[in-house]
Amino acid sequence: MQTSATPFQSQQRHSPGLAGLLGAFLQSPWSLVLAVILAFFLGSNTLPLTDVDEGAFSEATREMLARGNLVSPTLNEQPRHDKPILIYWAQAASVSLLGTSEFAFRLPSLLASLLWLWALYRFCLRHGDRRHAQLSSLIMVLSAQVGLIAKAAIADALLNLFIALALLWIYDFYCLARQAASPERIRRLLLAIYAALGLGFLTKGPVAVFLPLLVSGLFFVSAGAWRDWLRAAVDRRGWLLFLAIVLPWHVLVYLDQGDAFFRGFYLQHNLNRYASTFEGHGGNPFYYLAILPLILLPFSGWLPAIAGVLWRKLKSSGSRFSLERYLLIWFGVVFIFFSFSRTQLPHYLLYGCTPLFILLGRHRSSDGRRWLAMAPVILMAVFLVALPLVLDIAAGLSSRPLEQMVIGELAQAFDDWSSGVFIAWLAALLGLAFWRALPVWQALLLAGLLQAAVFSSLVLPRLLAVTQEPVRHAAWLARQYGGEVVAWRLNQPSFSVYRDAVTTARLPGAGELALTRTDRLDELARALAPLPFSEVYRRGHVALVRVGEVGQP
């Protein structure tokens, strides 16, 4: 029997030439493979570790292996209570297998991001179709913040994986409960949810449990299914599995440190972090409204483009049972919760972006809002084209010599052939915006592929060449020296990773090397007097000096 073609198939069958080929490519698995290579893997083995976060996690893992203590991480031989143990165990396994390298420290984040992608793809297949799964997966991979987190040697890719697994499976549980599925199938799913909660807790603590419980509770109550939620929330087998995952390490760290970790992590880095500003990252209720477009780039304009579709969907008679309602509650809880936190970092909002990737893939924007959808990524390209001029102006406005120097070096780094690449990127984006034969969603995906290529091969390498490459070079020189090396008024944990040794923070003595900032050399000379020192290495903001004996020239 002959079947009629779907609108999508008809569109593909009659698409002219190049537009049809691009549409077919974006629907193929090869586009997803290319996106993962460009956004996740490109540069992951060559870019220097960033300070402070990547350097701190990597150095804590290196020290843990060097000390043979797999229970209590340290940083510069001082207890590190920032995070629970799972990310350190994952990095330690990777480094033990592959050796010490940037790629080995980043591999757990890469693998977690791939599993996160797999979870999203499978969820979209269960509640949509292959086209929805493909489109949402591409949006996730090509969103700017996801690409950065995926190749960062920190805990957040791992945490996003477990939060996403828990909340995606919770919606599956809701659907099975409404369908009166077999009790055995529901029990297996509940155990998987509790396992994800436990692993998330072992990655970053209470937030991995608090957010799924709050999101699911609000949704189930709003859908009139609070009894199902309550039965799941007090499931005895689930909590026993959760405790079996979480409790053993907590007992071991208590036996090793007493209550130091519990005071340092649960009180200082959870309650106090939410109530107080940490590391200057605080606390404006409009912060995430401003940062969301950068996190979702190049898809930032897609959200307002589909806002009308989502609103009509929510107003429909069955909206309280809809997937859209659940996804918007998920995003809304994360957005509101962290908007009122006193400590705010861009990647916190990423915990609530998985539902946005699904919504964007589920509701393609209309061609009538083409320029609204394309505007944010075009504006980013314009900014990068003008970046050398912007940096020159910023250097002139700064009153600090070190800032002027670093900004000037960044201006030079982006003022050669890179400007031509940015102009070509801008021209390509404008071409995609004007190309009416190409649907908006396809134009945005192609813009995402171009963005990933430009960011991974040009923007990040040039930025880190100025800010982090001097630290890596100084560490290699210090390692060749082989003597005592200290850090003076400069916190660069990656220096210890590359040197493969702890770097004590103190005033150096005769015969020692010291890592410090170039604008503090005069201050160091006064602090060392009458001991002289000579510069061994100086680049950018970093100086490596050797302290001599009294009377040496």
The H-or-E segment that residue 394 falls in is helix 387-397
Q: Are residues 401 and 523 in the same domain?
A: no
Q: What is the three-class DSSP state of 350?
A: helix
Q: What is the three-class DSSP state of 508?
A: coil
pTM: 0.92
Q: Are residues 158 and 62 in the same domain?
A: yes
| Positions of the chain with pLDDT lower than 50, given as ranges | 1-15, 280-281
Would 164 be classed as within a structural domain? yes
Would 15 be classed as within a structural domain? no
For residue 14, the model assigns a pLDDT of 44
For residue 276, the model assigns a pLDDT of 54
What is the sign, positive or negative, of the torsion defined by CA atoms of 165, 167, 170, 174? negative
* Of the residues 275, 303, 331, the one at which a domain ends: 275
Q: Are residues 128 and 269 in the same domain?
A: yes
Q: Are residues 41 and 190 in the same domain?
A: yes
What's the rounded Cα separation, in Å, for the pair 316 and 248? 48
401-413 vs 460-467: helix crossing angle, rounded to 10: 150
Would 319 be classed as within a structural domain? no
Q: Are residues 113 and 217 in the same domain?
A: yes
Q: Are residues 256 and 373 in the same domain?
A: no
For residue 273, the model assigns a pLDDT of 57
For residue 349, the model assigns a pLDDT of 93
For residue 317, the model assigns a pLDDT of 52
Would 108 be classed as within a structural domain? yes
Q: What is the three-class DSSP state of 343?
A: strand
For residue 264, the model assigns a pLDDT of 79
Please count the structural domains in the chain: 3
* Of the residues 466, 485, 504, the one at which a domain ends: 466
What's the rounded Cα separation, in Å, for the pair 490 and 68? 27
User: Which of 468, 330, 490 is CA-nearest to residue 410?
Assistant: 468
For residue 272, the model assigns a pLDDT of 61
Q: Are residues 237 and 117 in the same domain?
A: yes
Range of the domain at 131: 33-275
For residue 453, the model assigns a pLDDT of 96
| Gyration radius of the chain over CA positions | 26
